[in-house]
Every structure is written in structure tokens, then in C-alpha cells.
Amino acid sequence: MTRIPSRLHYGWVVAGVTFVVIAVTAGVRAAPGILIVPLEDEFHWSRATISFAISVNLLFYGLVGPFAAAVMDRFGVRRTMSLALAATAAAVALSPTMREPWQLVLLWGAVVGLSCGVIGSYLAAYVAARWFVLRQGLVVGVLTGANAAGQLAFLPSLAGLATHSGWRTMCLVVAGFVVALVPLLILLMRDRPQDLGLAPYGDTRGPQPVPAPRGNPATVAFRALGDGARSKDFWLIAGGFFACGASTNGLIGTHMIPACVDHGLTEVVGAGLLAAVGVFSFIGGTLSGWLSDRWDNRYLLFWYYGLRGLSLMYLPFAFDMSFVGLSIFCVFYGLDWIASVPPTVRLLRGVVGTERTGIMVAWITVIHQIGGATAAFVAGVLRISYGSYLQAFMLSGLLCIVAAFMVLFIGAGRKRREPEGLAAPAQ
């Protein structure tokens, strides 16, 4: 029987700091959905133009992940995350000076996308693999849920602030929150448990020597991708994650508030609905992490993607069913929002191995964000062409249904018992 440490392991402190940082950067990434209508009204930029900037943000957020993971291995987690937060704060603080669309693309598309991408979706798996052997699925679920927590904490307040004080004030407040995180990160974050003379939580062998990182970070990242791309299962997992990105931050995260405005609801109400999605997604993500340690992850993904697809097909009709219909959507869709991440990580670990889990999660996050960027832009174009989001919601729902059946063909990652005391460093 594996012995569980009785004292508080420092890995839980690192997980707590990571949770706070992910939550705040999630609030930053949710802000563009609030900016769409104010920027349309003030500058008369088209929704397609603003959606393009958000698409660039989503794409860069994903693309930087594999290289950020390699840079963290080479130069350290604390240093890399601190620089990323500083860049994020600078770009958001400069936003009130925007006057042209290219400035929106540069600041919110490129700089915020890249800097937030350094603290991206891969970070939950990266930290969990490096600091935990026991409770790894649970930690991935909770840290993934930090995105929902950030959405819950920031969206309603930011929407209210933008409505009553203006979008420029909102940007300055967001920048202030990000700056405040940097001292906390420097004080409490550590790169590895070995730095403190510890083993990962649940590793009974004691601290193990850490090999020095070798090679250029870009070379390391591409080599890992080349090895993983030889597996059919990798592409099945990545294809499901493409649908995940298209159906979450690309569509709902970007266009839910404008869709609410189209149906006569205020931006604050739309942000409140997204916050409700965040509440239930935190519950769903944490529960999914627990389930992923115990059930066949292929079947979990089948149900998650399938139910998400049905929820998206229901959404256009929910707008005509008053607030009750939208509340039903928020509950069912919210439980599913991030639930797909823990089983995806577990399946990927079975394909590429423990040592490359962090960097390969970063690579499938690239594909996730390509899906999100595609959906963000296409939904804006469809809204201009047809005057509603009906077609976008239906297409995204169908894509999720296809993904639900596709993941059943994944041959690796079936539930198996991990060797007792096996450490899990991320590479």
C-alpha cells in the first residue's frame, strides 16, 4: 500500500500559486469578449476585424506552449512565468492608447496571446507531472479548473466596470491585478521538488537527481513533436482537442456575450452567464480529474464531447426560452467545459510516456487553440453573413459529435496501475 505523506508537501503550495496565476491570466484572456461591443461602438470596427484579433490571440496562445515548456525546462519555471506576467501587464496597460485595428491585433492578439500562452493550458499537466505522483489526475483537474475560477471571479466585475467606467478603465484594472501577481510568484514558486530536497508527492524513493536540460528549446520541442506524430493515437487525441478548442474558448468564450446582446440581453447579463458556466466547469473539471484516475478515459471523453455537442445545438433555442433556458444551458455546458482535459492528459501520457507529458500536452494545446482561433474567426464571419450565430453553434455541435466517436478509436491510455513510487518529471 502506498504511504501518503502526513505533512503538507510543498507541491501543494506550488499548485496553489499556479492556480492563482492561471485564474488571473484566464481573466485577462476572457476580457476580449467584453471588448467586442465597446470597440464596435467607439471605433466602428467590424465584428470580423475584432474577431480576427481574438483569433490571433488564441492561435499564439497555443503556438507558444511547446517552446515555453522547453524554455521552462532550460531556464526555470519561476523566471519564465514572471517575465510572461510582466509582458501581459504591459500590453494590457497600453490598450487604452489604441486607435487603429492593427494595434488591437498587436497588443491583444500577439503580445497578450504569447505571454498568456507561456502560462497556458499545458501548465496544469506540467506542474502536476513534476510535483506529484499521487493525486496527479486530481491536481490536473483542479488546475484546469483555475481557468473557470478566473472567469467566474473576473468576468461579471469586468463587464460591469466596462459598462459604467469604460473599457479603458477596465484594461488598467486588469493590468494592475497582473502586476500584483509577480511578487507572489517570485516569493513562493519553485522550479522542482529537488530544489527543496524533496521528492514528488507520493514518490517513496526520495529525491532523485535531475538531468541537466540539453539542446536548444526549439529543437527539443520539435523533436518531441516528431516522435509523438508517428502515433495514430496522438492524432486522435489531438483531433478531439481541436474540437474542444473550437467549442469552448473559440466560440462560447469569444462570442457568448455578443450573442446575448443580439438577443436583447446586456453585456453584464452575458458575462454573468459565462461566470455561471465557470462555476459549473470548475465542479466538472475537478470531478473529471477524480474520475480520470479511476475510469477508462476514452469513454469519459466520448460522453463529454457528445453532451457538449448536444448542448451547443440546444443553445440557439435557449435564447428564445427566457433566462431559464439559458440557465439550463449554463449548467450542462458548464459541467463539460473543461472536463475533457484530465482524461485527455491521461490518454496522452499513455501514448508518449511520463517524461514527455508536459511538452506534448503543450503541442496538443497548439491544435486546441487552432480550433479555437478558427471558430472565433468563422463565427464572426457567419454572424455578419447570416445575421445570427445559429450556424456557428450548430457546426460546432456537429464537430463535437464527430470527436465523441473519434476518441473511441484511441488504443493507448486504458486504465492501468502506475508502478508504486514512480516519479513523474515533466520534460
pLDDT tens column, 88-124: 999 999 999 999 999 999 999 999 999 998 987 778 8
Write down the residue that cell numbers 463565427 correspond to.
379
Question: Helix (H, G, I), strand (E, B), or coil: what is residue 201?
Answer: strand
Per-residue confidence (pLDDT) for residue 59, from 0 to 100: 84
Per-residue confidence (pLDDT) for residue 282, from 0 to 100: 81
Amino acid at 288: S
Give the pTM: 0.71
Per-residue confidence (pLDDT) for residue 414, from 0 to 100: 44
Write down the residue that cell numbers 473559440 correspond to.
250
Per-residue confidence (pLDDT) for residue 290, from 0 to 100: 85
Low-confidence stretches of the chain (pLDDT < 70) are 1-6, 206-217, 354-355, 412-427
pLDDT tens string 138-167: 888 788 878 777 877 787 888 889 888 999
Q: Give Cα separations from 348 to 49, 57, 133, 330, 421 (angstroms).
A: 36, 25, 16, 29, 21
Per-residue confidence (pLDDT) for residue 419, from 0 to 100: 37
CA atoms within 13 A on the CB side of 108: 29
CB distance 364 to 120 below 8 Å: no
Strand partners, 132: 201
Per-residue confidence (pLDDT) for residue 209, from 0 to 100: 63
Per-residue confidence (pLDDT) for residue 215, from 0 to 100: 62
Per-residue confidence (pLDDT) for residue 83, from 0 to 100: 94
Per-residue confidence (pLDDT) for residue 423, from 0 to 100: 36
Which residue in 361, 371, 277, 383 sits closest to 55, CA to CA?
371
Per-residue confidence (pLDDT) for residue 55, from 0 to 100: 85
Per-residue confidence (pLDDT) for residue 1, from 0 to 100: 42
**How is residue 257 written as a grid cell?**
456575450
> Residue 20, class by beta-carbon neighbours within 10 Å (0-12 exposed, 13-18 middle, 19+ buried)?
middle
Per-residue confidence (pLDDT) for residue 422, from 0 to 100: 37
Per-residue confidence (pLDDT) for residue 37, from 0 to 100: 84
What is the sign of the dihedral through the CA atoms of 286, 21, 239 and 313?
A: positive
